[in-house]
Chains A and B, each alone.
Chain A
Amino acid sequence: MKLNEYLRVILSMIELEIRRIMHDRTELYLRAVQPLLWLLVFGPIVGSFHSIPTGNIPYTDYIMPGVLAQSTTTVAIFFGLVIIWERESGILKKLVASPSPDFAIVAGRSMAAGTRALFQAVFIIPFAVLMGVKIFPNPLYLISALILVFFASSGFASLSILIASILKTRERFMGLGQVIILPMFFGSNALYPVNSMPPLLQLFASVNPMTYIVDALRGLLITGNISQLPLDIVIILIFDAVLISIASLNFKRIIE
């Protein structure tokens, strides 16, 4: 299999996802409700106490990248449900019997989830601007942030596919999905700076991929301070590569 054949499968999967979204955007709207509540209610109220050291950034602006990261990774984490549905129907069997290599299938489906997450971001960012969040005025930074959302979500979607291939049923998957999302969100710098956490939590935050995603997004979207960005990107790309590889090695298990 040559590189362009991998690319072909991946692009087909992304196209499939875009066509799905075009036919039915309900999920997109429903998933937008929660992040909007964070920005509309939680941000202003907690911000009014001035209790969290955010530098001189308004609190709602401070949490906006975290809320964006959380809602887009949630889309990705629950993408495994699609895979479980495709397992119960015969779609995965058919894909496995097709010439597409497992790696391309997993990478393709992960990036399809990344695409869905991107649609989510394109929804949330303008809303935040409407609410008065001051986005750092540099279009290159904004585009970089969107690319970052895409790759980060793709990585989480591979994690989700990996979990789906181990758990296999919808019910078990739903349970675990929740268990992953909340600790990742609260155990990161999404809502408060890492150095304000107890030491054990700080340790967790330092290995939590969410921390790096939020840090990168905050630099690109709010502060314009991107000194940490190269490290963040390296970590996100390693996270993607490792998870897509493990998930594709494990992929055949799902149809056993």
Chain B
Amino acid sequence: MDFAISVHNVSKKYGTLLALDKVNLKVEEGKLFALLGPNGAGKTTLLRILTTQFEPTSGEAFVLGRNVVTQGEELRELISYVPQEMSVWTDISGYENLLIYSKIYGLSAEERKNAIRDSLQLMDLTEAANRLVSTFSGGMIRKLELACAVMIKPKILFLDEPTIGLDPATRKTIWEKLKALNRESGTNVFFSTHYMDEAELYADEIGIINRGKLIKVASPDELKRSVSSDLVTVESSSEVSRSAASHLRKLRDVSCVESKGNTLEISTRSSEESLGAIVKSLLSDKVVIKRIATHKPSIDDAFLRYAGTKGSAQDTGRLSELKRIRERIRRG
């Protein structure tokens, strides 16, 4: 099996601060991989090491089989990177940004024409292309950055918090485009995010990172399944008898039953499969069911379990800095 990315025991220190702590990771080719973690977890640091911006303090990392330290030059020809912060020139037009980048990357005049047209089209920027970037909205700027990144047809796209600070509708369209790109051209996408829902909806695999440690790597489904069982909550009109509860415990797949007055909380491997048996057992014990609800574990539950903290990070630090920069750009 060829791995697009493989990371061995990578650590990174800034002075005394340990930003990455012996990270090990393998990502298969063609995958959409999400690095999920709160602010300060070390996501940006890992992305910047993988894009050859600086060396790890210890450990080794390979991208597309190239060592990020010794084969950086070769590797940089194959990857694209969109940093967390804004990364286009705002005092020229969107088209000119693409033009200059395509020249820096050495696309021939003919390749250039097609590549610019296609990437503008992909990101719905054809009409706005000749406007100054300083008149663009935050979402359009992000799309232009992505257009720059896909224009050179990289093997891997590294995206650092690609949808940070954008509204939900724009986030959704951006992800649909990236998904389509991944499906159609097999481009790997390696992105960081602190939005749980994004990792869950769009990634093939999620790596949970917190305080420099990569804690768990799994698919969204595996993650959710690994957390806990489904929960079925039953509310009755009167207190539920002990015998009714103990009958439930004997059902296959039910791992735990807790009764609190009129309410029962039943943990089961799969609520869909057990619901019939649960209702049948309750009815035979003459329990009057007033309300019944099922709860599937979410990626938030998974994050809480592995990282030990709530994932939905507060918008502090870097993000407010980003907002400030975007603000400044808007003002021109």
State A96–B79 Cα separation when bound (angstroms).
Answer: 12
Question: Would you list which residues of chain B between 212 and 265 have a CB under 8 Å from chain A?
Answer: none
Interface string of B135-158 (1 = CB under 8 A from A): 000000000000000000000001
Q: How far is B86's CA from A89's CA once the two chains are assembled, in angstroms?
A: 5
Binds B, one of A15-23, A58-66, A133-141, A189-197: A15-23
* Contacting pair B83 A19 (CB below 8 A): no
User: Is the C-beta of B76 less than 8 angstroms from some C-beta in chain A?
Assistant: yes
Q: Which of B85-115 contact A (CB under 8 A)?
A: 85-89, 91-93, 96, 100, 103-106
Pairwise interchain contact A94-B100, C-beta atoms closer than 8 A: no
Q: How far is the CB of B78 from chain A (nearest CB, A)?
A: 9
Q: Cα distance A89–B144 when bound, in Å? A: 15
Is A256 in contact with B106, judged by CB distance below 8 angstroms? no
Q: Mark B47-80, 1 if CB is under 8 A from A, else 0.
A: 0100111100000000000000000010011010
Quote the shortest CB–CB distance from B100 to chain A (angstroms): 5
Q: Does A12 have its Cβ within 8 Å of any Cβ on chain B?
A: yes
Judged by a CB distance under 8 angstroms, whether B84 is at the interface is: yes
Contact assessment for B81 and A99 in the assembled complex, using a CB-CB cutoff below 8 Å: no
Q: Is the CB of B106 within 8 A of A8?
A: yes
A172 in contact (CB, < 8 A): no
- The reply to whether B53 and A255 contact each other, CB–CB distance below 8 Å, is yes
Q: At the interface, yes or no: B166 with Cβ under 8 Å from chain A?
A: no
With contacts A12-B103, A15-B103, A16-B100 known, is A24 near B325, CB below 8 A?
no
Does chain B have a CB within 8 A of A227?
no
Q: Is B82 an interface residue (CB 8 A)?
A: yes
Q: Is B132 an interface residue (CB 8 A)?
A: yes
Decide yes or no: A90 and B92 within 8 Å by CB, A12-B104, A99-B105 being known contacts. no
Complex: A233 Cα to B217 Cα, angstroms: 61
A93 to B80 Cα, complex, angstroms: 11
The answer on a CB contact under 8 Å between B106 and A90 is no
Known interface pairs A24-B91, A93-B83; A98-B100 also in contact (CB < 8 Å): no
B81 touches A23 (CB 8 A): no
Which A residues are CB-close (under 8 A) to B91? 20, 23-24
CA of A252 to CA of B48 in the docked complex: distance in angstroms?
12
| Chain A neighbourhood of B83, CB < 8 A | 90, 93-94
What distance in Å separates the Cβ of A135 from its nearest Cβ neighbour in chain B? 33
Q: Complex: how many Å from CA A256 to CA B44?
A: 12
Verify A252–B87 contact, CB threshold 8 A: no
User: How far in angstroms is the closest Cβ of chain B from A108?
Assistant: 9
Q: Is the CB of B54 within 8 A of A94?
A: no
A20: chain B residues at CB < 8 Å are 89, 91-92
Question: Chain B residues with Cβ under 8 A from A142's Cβ?
Answer: none
The CA-CA distance from A255 to B87 in the complex, in Å, is: 13
Given contacts A9-B104, A23-B92, A97-B52, contact A90 B85 (CB under 8 A): yes
Q: Which residue of B54, B82, B106 is within 8 Å of A5 (Cβ)?
A: B106
The number of chain A residues with a CB under 8 A from chain B is 28
Q: Pick the most buried of B87, B132, B158: most chain A CB atoms within 10 A of its CB.
A: B87
Contacts of B54 in A (CB 8 A): 252, 256
Q: Does A32 contact B (CB under 8 A)?
A: no
Q: Which residue of A lies closest to B74 (CB)?
A: A99
By beta carbon, the residue of chain B nearest A21 is B91
- Complex Cα gap A101–B106 (Å): 13
Flag if A98 contacts B76 (CB, 8 Å). yes
8 Å CB contact of A97 from B79, B93, B106? B79
Q: In the complex, what distance in Å separates the CA atom of A23 from the CA atom of B92?
A: 7
Contact in complex: A99, B73 (CB < 8 Å): yes
Asked if B100 and A93 sit within 8 Å, CB to CB, the answer is no
CB distance from A202 to the nearest CB of B (A): 43
Does the CB pair B51–A97 fall under 8 Å? yes
By the criterion CB–CB under 8 Å, are A15 and B87 in contact? no
* B103 engages A8 (CB within 8 Å): yes
Question: Contact at A90–B87, with CB atoms within 8 Å?
Answer: yes
- Binary CB contact string for chain A from 81 to 124 against chain B (1 if under 8 A, 0 otherwise): 00000001111011111111100000000000000000000000
Q: Which residues of A contact B93 (CB under 8 A)?
A: 23
> A135-164, CB under 8 A of B: which get 1 and which 0?
000000000000000000000000000000
Nearest CB of A to B130, in Å: 11
Bound-complex Cα distance A97 to B158 (A): 10
Is B53 a contact partner of A88 (Cβ separation < 8 A)? no
**CB–CB B81/A94 < 8 A:** yes
Decide: A15 near B53, CB < 8 A? Known: A89-B87, A97-B81: no
Distance A5 CA – B103 CA, assembled complex (angstroms): 10
Question: Distance in Å from the Cβ of A218 to the closest Cβ of chain B?
Answer: 35
Assembled-state Cα–Cα distance A11/B104 (Å): 9
B92 touches A91 (CB 8 A): no
In the complex, what's the smallest C-beta–C-beta distance from B293 to chain A, in angstroms? 45
A179 at the interface (CB under 8 A from B): no
| Contacting residue for A89 out of B51, B92, B104, B325, CB 8 A | B325
Q: Smallest Cβ distance from A116 to chain B, in angstroms? A: 13
Interchain CA distance A99-B101 in the complex, whole Å: 11
Q: List 20 A-B contacts (CB under 8 A).
A: A8-B106, A9-B104, A11-B103, A12-B104, A16-B89, A16-B96, A19-B100, A88-B85, A89-B85, A90-B82, A91-B89, A96-B52, A96-B53, A97-B53, A97-B76, A98-B76, A98-B105, A99-B73, A100-B104, A255-B53
A-B contacts besides A16-B89, A94-B82, 8 pairs, CB < 8 Å: A5-B106, A88-B325, A90-B84, A90-B85, A93-B48, A94-B83, A98-B104, A99-B73
